[in-house]
Structure 1
Amino acid sequence: MERATPSILCSYFVIVLILLLLDTSVAEPRSQIVQNICGNRKTMGYVTDFADTMETITQQMSTRGYGVAFTGTGPLANYGLGQCYGDFSLRDRIICYTEARYVLPHCFPSNGQRIYLDGCFMRVENYTFYDQYLGPEDRRVCGNRMAKGSLFQQTARRAVQQAISNAPSNKGYARSQVSVPGPSNETAYVLANCWKTLSVNSCAACLQNASAFMLGCLPWSEGRALYTGCFMSYLSTEKSNSDDKWLFLLANDHIAGKVVVIVVSSAVILGVGAFIGTYVWSNKQIQKKRKGKSLS
């Protein structure tokens, strides 16, 4: 068997390094878990049915951004729902639902599991729940406890009202941003998203309830509502760029971390490539000298 030459080994090393760096570059904050909720009773369902449900949902999410599926019958059935939020690209969907699919089975064989991320949602139950929009596990999560003044609070409420007015007639999704008046240089950003299985009226009712509860996080600068049929969030970020789209993505931590990692990763790849190139060239020169000595 031939031994791998140093140049081939170096090539393998570069490929592995690049894959690792790419994997690091997609570990974005919006794939971070907000909350994972497990049911309080155990139902001994079939692992294969659960896995089949997850596989079907993730295939649908990769192509259209949401998916529904069920397997099994009776109390051992698995009904599933997965959805990415309306501003996600195909690449973002893959990152988010991969994380959700990895974490969700940790609840198995609980009678119910749901996971909220900042970019997507998944739920599995042993009954059909697709038309539900309110439930006993609905909650809010308040973060970044930096108290804001009355002007920001008023602005956040206006932004929330814009989002809940637009979302039901916009396929269940809306985002809004309203600048705080005066010299504060702040903006309130709001995201609202209903699950695709809801009617327009159910979506509106979910967002109305979720927004009222979420605004209880004020005066804190960040709040989320995790509801049976929808997800909402508001946050504050100071303006640092005239491009509103860029600001909104930054406000949602969508690409800020990725930009830094890509720059660092590119520098590392170039550095490693230069090092390997020098090593391979030096190795060839040594081999030529050895051949020259053996011939003489």
Structure 2
Amino acid sequence: MKKTIPSIPTPSVLLVLTTTLLLLLDILVAEPRTEMVQITCGNQLEHNSTVFILNFIATMENIREQMGTTGFGIAVTSSGPDANYVLGQCYGDLSLLDCVLCYVEARSVLPRCFPTTAGRVYLDGCFVRAQNSSFFEEYTGPEDRALCGNTTQKDSAFQKSVRRAVLQAASDAPNNNGYARVQVPVSGTANESAYVLSDCWRTLDVSSCRACLQNASTSILGCLPWSEGRALNTGCFMRYSDTNFLNPEPQNGSSRGIITTIIVAKKRRGSNDAEKLAKILDDSSLNFKYSTLEKATGSFDNANKLGQGGFGTVYKGVLPDGREIAVKRLFFNNKHRARDFYNEINIISSVEHKNLVRLLGCSCSGPESLLVYEFLPNTSLDRFIFDSIGGKELNWEKRYDIIIGTAEGLVYLHENSKNRIIHRDIKASNILLDSRLRAKIADFGLARSFQGDKSHISTAIAGTLSQAADYADSIVTIAWKHFQLGTLEEFFDPNLMLHNYHDSSMKNDVLRVVHIGLLCTQEAQSLRPSMSKALVMLVKKDGHLAAPTKPPFIDEKTMELNDMHENPCYPLNASDSDSIATVSQSSFYPR
């Protein structure tokens, strides 16, 4: 996002920018077209959650780097049932910058298919497909289909222009690296045209591309007389419309270089949000220059990489004044999310508590969105408890302090902050530890301010894939079964080495904490204690605890917490068997 320039008197529909750009001119008027068209998921479940997730993250990052240089990428990680084969491609009229924006949007959607091993995401500007076996040469399949608009029916003249444009695009693309765009005026009208775009995946040869587009042409023409049609095929994409959705073509001979110019253009939708955000950040102490953070992290050198989650990669950095910081490089980087990005910053910066990671600022003036946090030397809790050596460093007393600190942080978010906040992604990797191993809750990438008049939000597990994997393994259910059988000690982490303690009070403390955890995960929402009550239970060790009831049933296909006792979940589109990623709503309060 460009830095806001002081306003000058102009008509409200005009935006006058005077700047020096190291960009292509067409970037200023291009659109990444990140609107969702369709997501389809496979039926085969992953084999090993941990391996599959690590392979998925590595493969998608590889694709992201390729998309930023060529607008296309393929990558393969590992082999066997947990392998990841991924293809990503932007349609031919997108600039490289808009291609990256479209890809990160598609990449954020694809995990909805977890825990299945396959998924396809069609956006209006790009396509991403992942699978655990090779598909790069496929061009047809049973999932090929047309999606038709259903708002406006057009006359015969428009239909004639569409047929001509579609057939022309299908003919031109195979001999033009798989890409074609066609505009055919509608006879008898002054300004109306039919606009068509066709794109084959670059892994196909000429004959396969031609066959795919012929199939796509046949199916998409079945959408007439509707004004919009899209063909979503295994090896290609095609779209027609009565609206010009195509990005302007770069001028002949244009290349990257310094362009100094005055541009007068219509103000783009969403630019007002971006301008407001830039002004607010410039007027506050939250703003960091992109160049400062880039230098602090050694140009985001892998040697400075601290970790990676579902929404971004975190790097260690050192500012010119010697301060150590943690810089989160966000995956989505969508310039159309200026308002959401500002709201997120506003939420995070408005809370201060000893058990919450402190936000130092952000940068949205460079080519990507960055968040800056305080640096915590002991990284995250998962680095200890999932490590055979590190786990022994955290005895029960230290773990208990971390549990209490985490609970106190959640109580503050739920009840004591200016805006009640639901984090929605609490897990070991989001509990950071300072130099004294005190807990600090991190990663508000999914945090949402909870207003008193809004009681309905999605109850889907909204966390990263590693969290989803934990749920898929039904850890809560396993703990519940041990509790029922009176064998909870078998569930304890052996790194605690409780057998070395002859005093039974420590084992009782551990049993009490697990008991409280089961109370917090009961199927009936009304029986679950609020976070403040849970904290009292943790601190007041002699208090009576009710017997927990069973935890909720967890649907591993949708990753929904299905509260069968009080809130049966119904998919919004139960008849749609194409996508496993369903959505449901139920009453949800911060507890």
Asked if these proteins are the same fold (TM beyond 0.5), I'd say yes
Match of 2:230, SS state, is strand
Q: Which residue of 1 aligns with 2:34?
A: 31
- Structure 1, gaps ≥5 residues long: 1-13, 16-24, 238-245, 251-255, 277-296
1:247 Cα shift? 7.5
How is 1:123-272 mapped onto 2 (pairs within 5 angstroms)? 123-183=129-189, 185-237=191-243, 248-249=246-247, 259-262=268-271, 265-266=274-275, 268=276
1:248 Cα shift? 3.9
Q: 1:201 to 1:271 in 2, by over 3 A?
A: closer
Structure 1 runs of 4+ with >3 Å offset = 246-250, 263-266, 268-276
Q: Which residue of 2 aligns with 1:59?
A: 65
1:29 Cα shift? 7.0
How many residues in Structure 1 have an aligned counterpart in Structure 2? 240
For residues 196 and 144 of structure 2, the distance between their equivalents in structure 1, rounded to whole angstroms, comes to 19
Comparing 138-147 and 31-40, the one that deviates more: 138-147
- Structure 2, gaps ≥5 residues long: 5-27, 249-264, 285-591
Residue 93, structure 1, aligned to residue 96, structure 2: no
For residues 282 and 55 of structure 2, the distance between their equivalents in structure 1, rounded to whole angstroms, comes to 50
1:274 Cα shift? 11
User: 1:90-143, CA deviations, whole angstroms, 9 ceiling, x for partnerless residues?
Assistant: 211111001011111121221311100000000011111000000011111112
1:234 Cα shift? 0.1
Match of 1:260, SS state, is coil
For residues 179 and 98 of structure 2, the distance between their equivalents in structure 1, rounded to whole angstroms, comes to 16
TM-score, with structure 2 as normaliser: 0.38
Structure 2 contact 148–228 (Cα < 8 Å) conserved: yes
For residues 275 and 82 of structure 1, the distance between their equivalents in structure 2, rounded to whole angstroms, comes to 39
Structure 2 contact 68–100 (Cα < 8 Å) conserved: yes
Comparing 28-37 and 228-237, the one that deviates more: 28-37
Identity %: 54
Residue 42, structure 1, aligned to residue 45, structure 2: yes
Match of 2:268, SS state, is helix
For residues 117 and 83 of structure 2, the distance between their equivalents in structure 1, rounded to whole angstroms, comes to 10
Q: 1:257 to 1:227 in 2, by over 3 A?
A: farther
For residues 175 and 197 of structure 2, the distance between their equivalents in structure 1, rounded to whole angstroms, comes to 15
Q: 1:216 to 1:258 in 2, by over 3 A?
A: farther
Q: 1:90 to 1:217 in 2, by over 3 A?
A: same
Q: Which residue of 2 aligns with 1:117?
A: 123
User: 1:17-55, CA deviations, whole angstroms, 9 ceiling, x for partnerless residues?
Assistant: xxxxxxxx99x6711110011102212241101111111
Structure 2 contact 106–121 (Cα < 8 Å) conserved: yes
Q: Which residue of 2 aligns with 1:20?
A: none
Larger relative helix fraction: 1
Residue 70, structure 1, aligned to residue 76, structure 2: yes
For residues 230 and 274 of structure 1, the distance between their equivalents in structure 2, rounded to whole angstroms, comes to 44
Q: 1:275 to 1:86 in 2, by over 3 A?
A: closer
1:227 Cα shift? 0.4
1:273 Cα shift? 9.4
Q: 1:73 to 1:65 in 2, by over 3 A?
A: same
Structure 1 contact 44–109 (Cα < 8 Å) conserved: no
For residues 72 and 201 of structure 2, the distance between their equivalents in structure 1, rounded to whole angstroms, comes to 9
For residues 44 and 209 of structure 2, the distance between their equivalents in structure 1, rounded to whole angstroms, comes to 28
Structure 1 contact 29–257 (Cα < 8 Å) conserved: no
Match of 1:44, SS state, is coil
1:249 Cα shift? 3.5
